Structure 1
Amino acid sequence: MSAEKTLNDGPVGRALWSVSAPMTIGILGVVSVGLADAFFLARDGETSLAAIGYVFPVITALTSLSIGLSAGTNTVISQAIGRGEDAEDRRRMTLHAMTLALGLSCAVSLLVYLLAPYLFGAMGAEGEVLSAILGYMRFWCLSFPFLVTSMALNAVFRAAGRSGVAATTMLMQALLNIALDPVLIFGLGPIPALSMDGAGLASLIARMASFTGLLIFATSIGTVQFSAAPWRGLMASMRRIVRVGAPAAMSNAINPLGMAIVTGFVATIGDTAVAGFGAATRVQGVVVVPLLALSSGIGPVVGQAWGAGNEERARKGLRICHAACVIFGLSVAALLLIFAGPLAAIMTSGSEAQAYTATYLRIASWGFLGYGILITANAAMNARDRALWSMSLSGTRIFALYVPMTWAGVQLGGYGGMIVGALVANLISGWVSLVMVRSVGLGVIDWAPVRVPSRWLSARLGAQGLPAPD
C-alpha cells in the first residue's frame, strides 16, 4: 500500500506522537460539529436545544459502529504490516472492510429510522421536541453509511502510520458541516430556515462530500484497488475484522448508551436540565479531544509492535499514554474551575440551563483522567486482539459503576448528586483499567493492590471463555 510506514522504528513516544498529533486536529473537527450544532440550535430556541440533548447520546452510540469497525480494521491491517504480510492481501482487506462497513451501516440506518419515534419517546421526548428530533434523524440516517464507510477507510490509513490523511478528511468534513449549519438552520436568501432538519441536512451533505473525496484519493494512490480476484478471502477477512470489530463496537456503544440512560434520569428534573446537561457533554467532548487522539494513536502503535513480536514496546507506549492522561486530566479540571461559566454562557440560551452546564463542568472534569486511562486501555486491548476484554471493561464502567451511581445521585442529591456519581464512576473505572491491561500482558504498573484483583479478574474472565492472559 502506498507510502505506508512502520511505527516500530525509533522512540515509541515519537511514534505515538506521529499518529496522535494529527488525530487531535481531526477529532477536534468532528466533535466541533456537535458543539456547533448545540451553539446554533441554542439560538434557534429551547425546543431545538432540548431536542439535540436527547439526540446526542443516541447518535454517539450509533457512531460506535463505525468506531468498532475501525478498531477491527486497524487491528487487522496494523498487525499485518508488523508481520510483513503481502501488500496485495492488505488491499483486499481494505476493500473487504469497506464492504462490511457499507452493508452493516445501511441495515442499521433503516432500523433506526423505523424505531426512532419509539426510542426517543421512551427517553422522555414528546410534543414539539419529539417532532424536531424525528426531522433531524431522517437526514442523519441517510448520512450514516457514508460516515461508517469513511471511518473504515480512515482506519486503514491510521494503521499504516498515515494518520494525517484521516485527520485531514475528518477536519474538512467538519468545516463543511459547520459552514452549512447556520445557512440551513436559520436560512439564507432563497434557502428556507429548516431548524433541526437543517442541522441533519448539513451532516448529510458534508459526509457525502467527505467520503467521495477520500475514496478518490485512496483509489489514486492504490490503497483501494480492484485488482485480480478482489473478493478472494472475503469471508476470512470479515471474520478477522468482526472478531475485534463487533466487541469493539459494543464496547464503544456502551458508553453513550449509559449517557442516554443518564439523560433519562436528568429528564426527570426537566427539559432545561436536559438542555444544560447536553450542552455540558458537548463541551466535555471537545476538551477531552487529546485523550481521544491518544486512544486513536495507541492502537496502531500497539498493533504494529505486537505483530512484530515487540511486546515491551507496546507496553511502553501504553505507559506514556496513561501518564499523559493523568497530567492532561488534572490540568483541564483546574482550568474548568475558572472557565466553566463563560463556556456555559456560550453554549446555552438561558441562565438556568447555563447554571446546569457550568456545575457539571466544574465537578465532573476531575474524572476525565480516569476516562482517559480507560479509553486508551480499551484501544490498546483491541489492538492486542483482546476486544472481549475491552468490552468487559466498558461494561463494568457503565453498568456496574456509572449508571447505578448516577441514578443514586439523582435520587439523593438531584442534578448535583448525578454529577458526583459520574465523577466517582470515572475515577474507579480508571483503576479497573489498570488492573485489566495487566491481565492481558500490557500492564503498566505492578503493585500489590493490583496484583490480587488482577488474578481474581483473570480467573473470572477465564471462566467466561475469554482468552487467558499472557
Structure 2
Amino acid sequence: MSELTEGDLFRGLLIVAAPIVAGNFLQSGLELVDLFFVGRLGKEAIAGVAMSTSVVMVLMTIIIGIVTANTAFVSRHYGAKEYDIAAKGISHTLILGLVFSIALSIVGILFAEDLLLLLGAEPAVALLGASYLKVLFTGSVTLVELWVINSTFQSCGDAITPMLLVVFANILNIVLDPLLIFGYGAVPALGVAGAAYATILSRSAAFVVAFGLLLSGRSPVPFSLRTKFEFPLAWRLIRVAVPNSIQSGLRSVTFLAMMAVVAVFGTTALSAYGIVGRLELVALMPGFGIATATAVIVGQNLGARKPERAEAGVRLSALINGGFMALVGAVFYFAGPAIIEVFDPSGESTAIGMSYMQTVAPFYVLLAVAIILGFALNGAGDTKRPMYATLVSMALIQVPLACILPGLLGIGIVGVWLAVVCGVTLQAGILFSMYRGGAWKATAI
C-alpha cells in the first residue's frame, strides 16, 4: 500500500491504524459485555473468568509468536513487492497455527481446573473457570486461524477487512451471550460456559467468511491451498516466532504470578483485579491498534529500503499513543469508582480497584511508549531484544517485588501495584535504549 512507504506518513498510519483501533475497541467492548453478563453470576464467576483469561494468555503464547512472525514476514515482503513470497509465508503460518493450536487445545482441556487451582483459585472459582476454559479451548483452532488471516490483511495495509470481520463476530457474540449464559425458551442456561460458547460460535462464523475471502482472490496477495510446504521457510518463521513467544510467555506467566499474588488477598481482591485488568485492556486496545500499524509501517519500509521513514513512523506513533494514554490515565484516576461499579454493582471491588488505578494510571504514558517500541522491533523481525526487556523488567523485577513490597513496606496490596509501576518503568527504559541502538534496521527475516 503506497501510503505506508510513500507520501504523507500520518495519513498512512491513520489508514491502517484507524480500522484496527475500531476493531480493537469493538473486541474490548465485547470483553466488557462478557464481563457485564458474567458479573451478574457473582464475584466467583468474575474471578473464574479473569483467572481463565490469564491461563489462555499463557497457553496461547506460541500462537502469538507465530502471528507476530507472520506480520513481520508478510509486511517486509509486501513492502518489497515480493507478493508470491508473502503468500507462501501466509500459507505456512496457517499450517503452523493449526498444528500448535491443536496441541495447546489438548493441554487446556485436560488440565483446566488443575491450572486454576495451581494459581490459588478457591474450589468454587476453579470449577467455574474450568467450565469456561474447556469450551474455549475446544474451539480455539478457529480463533487462531482467524487471527492469522486478520494479521495477513493488516500486514498488507488492508485493515478494513479485519475490522468488518470483528464487527460481524462481535454482533453475533453479543446476541449469543445472554441467550447462552442465562438461557431462553428451549435454550438451557449454561452459565459461565455460555460466554465461552458465544465466543467460539461467533469466531467460527467469522473464520469461515475470512477464509473464503482469502481463497476468493480478493486478498492483497495470491494465496493458494496448493502451496508446497517448505521446511526451510517454516523454520525462518519459527526463528522469528520463538523469541516473541517467549516474550509473550514471560508476560503471561508474569500476569499469572501477579494473579496468584493477588489471590492471597482474597476473592474480593481477585475480582477487583479482574475488573481493572479488563478495563486496562480496553484502554490499551487503541494503543495496540496503533502499535500494530507501526509494526506494519516498519516492516514495509524496511522491505522498501526506507529505514528513516520507519523511524519517523515510530516517533509519530509514540507521540499519539502517549498522549492518548495520558488522557485515559486521568479518567481512570478520577472517575474510577463509577466505572468499576458498573461491573460489580455490590461495590465490594471498588476500594481495591481504585487503589490499583490511582497507583498505576499515572504511569500509563510509559506503558504506551513501551508498547509502540516493542511492536516496532517485532515488526522489524527483531524479536529477541523485546524478549530480553520483558525478561528483566517483568519476570526478574516486577514479580519478586510484588512478593516483597507488601510486607516490606507494610502497605498490603498497594505494594503489588507499586511492583507493576517498577516493571513498566524499567521496560520502557530498556526498550528505548534498544530502539536507539538501531540494530533492528539490519534484521534479516
Residues 1:70 and 2:67 are matched in the alignment: yes
Shift of 1:363: 2.3
Shift of 1:31: 2.1
What code does the residue aligned with 1:57 have?
A: S
Shift of 1:222: 4.7
**Higher deviation after alignment, 386-395 or 279-288:** 386-395
- 2: CA distance, partners of 1:308 / 1:180: 45
The equivalent residue for 2:309 is: 313
Distance 1:369 1:65, change over 3 A: farther
Residues 1:216 and 2:190 are matched in the alignment: no
Residues 1:12 and 2:23 are matched in the alignment: no
Matches within 5 A, 1:197-236: 197-223=193-219, 227=224, 230-231=227-228, 234-236=230-232
The equivalent residue for 2:52 is: 55
The equivalent residue for 2:393 is: 397
Matches within 5 A, 1:299-338: 299-338=295-334
Residues 1:243 and 2:239 are matched in the alignment: yes
TM-score (norm 1): 0.89
Q: Is the 8 A contact 2:13 2:294 kept in 1?
A: yes
The equivalent residue for 2:78 is: 81
Q: Is the 8 A contact 2:382 2:440 kept in 1?
A: no
Shift of 1:267: 0.7
- Out of 17, 21, 30, the residue aligned to residue 33 of structure 1 is 30
Q: Is the 8 A contact 1:26 1:170 kept in 2?
A: yes
Residues 1:373 and 2:369 are matched in the alignment: yes
The equivalent residue for 1:426 is: 424
Shift of 1:16: 1.6
The equivalent residue for 1:340 is: 336
The equivalent residue for 1:448 is: none
- 1: CA distance, partners of 2:241 / 2:109: 23
Shift of 1:227: 4.7
What code does the residue aligned with 1:70 have?
A: V
Q: Deviations over 1:178-237 (max 9, x none)?
A: 2211111111122121111111111111111111111112211353867595115x2233
Shift of 1:46: 2.2
Q: Is the 8 A contact 2:215 2:223 kept in 1?
A: no
Secondary structure at 1:269 match in 2: coil
- 2: CA distance, partners of 1:298 / 1:407: 35
The equivalent residue for 1:414 is: 412
Distance 1:313 1:430, change over 3 A: same
Shift of 1:275: 0.4
Shift of 1:442: 6.0
The equivalent residue for 1:143 is: 139
- 2: CA distance, partners of 1:174 / 1:402: 34
Distance 1:189 1:347, change over 3 A: same
Q: Is the 8 A contact 1:56 1:278 kept in 2?
A: no
- 2: CA distance, partners of 1:170 / 1:229: 28
Q: Is the 8 A contact 1:386 1:440 kept in 2?
A: no
Secondary structure at 2:348 match in 1: helix
- Out of 173, 183, 186, the residue aligned to residue 182 of structure 2 is 186
Q: Deviations over 1:240-292 (max 9, x none)?
A: 22121222122223222211111101111101110011011001111112211
Shift of 1:53: 2.3
Q: Deviations over 1:109-145 (max 9, x none)?
A: 1112222232111101232221111111111001211
- 1: CA distance, partners of 2:147 / 2:210: 10
Residues 1:356 and 2:355 are matched in the alignment: no
The equivalent residue for 1:259 is: 255
Q: Is the 8 A contact 2:77 2:85 kept in 1?
A: no
Q: Deviations over 1:15-35 (max 9, x none)?
A: 222111111111122222322
- 1: CA distance, partners of 2:26 / 2:398: 28
Q: Is the 8 A contact 1:20 1:294 kept in 2?
A: yes
The equivalent residue for 1:278 is: 274
Q: Is the 8 A contact 1:143 1:204 kept in 2?
A: yes
The equivalent residue for 1:439 is: 437
- Among the aligned pairs, what percent are the same residue? 24
Q: Is the 8 A contact 1:42 1:49 kept in 2?
A: yes
- 2: CA distance, partners of 1:324 / 1:310: 22
The equivalent residue for 1:176 is: 172
Q: Deviations over 1:332-361 (max 9, x none)?
A: 111222211110110114222122223222
Q: Is the 8 A contact 1:184 1:198 kept in 2?
A: yes
Shift of 1:387: 0.7
Shift of 1:6: 5.8
Q: Is the 8 A contact 2:381 2:443 kept in 1?
A: no
Shift of 1:92: 2.5
Residues 1:289 and 2:285 are matched in the alignment: yes
Secondary structure at 2:75 match in 1: helix
**Higher deviation after alignment, 412-421 or 150-159:** 412-421
Q: Deviations over 1:160-188 (max 9, x none)?
A: 10011122222322232222111111111
- 1: CA distance, partners of 2:223 / 2:440: 38
- 1: CA distance, partners of 2:225 / 2:198: 38
State the number of aligned residues. Answer: 441
TM-score (norm 2): 0.93
- 1: CA distance, partners of 2:428 / 2:104: 31
- 1: CA distance, partners of 2:272 / 2:8: 44
The equivalent residue for 1:111 is: 107
- Out of 91, 99, 113, the residue aligned to residue 95 of structure 2 is 99
Q: Deviations over 1:413-457 (max 9, x none)?
A: 2122211221232123212211111123469xxxxxxxxxxxxxx
Q: Is the 8 A contact 1:367 1:424 kept in 2?
A: no
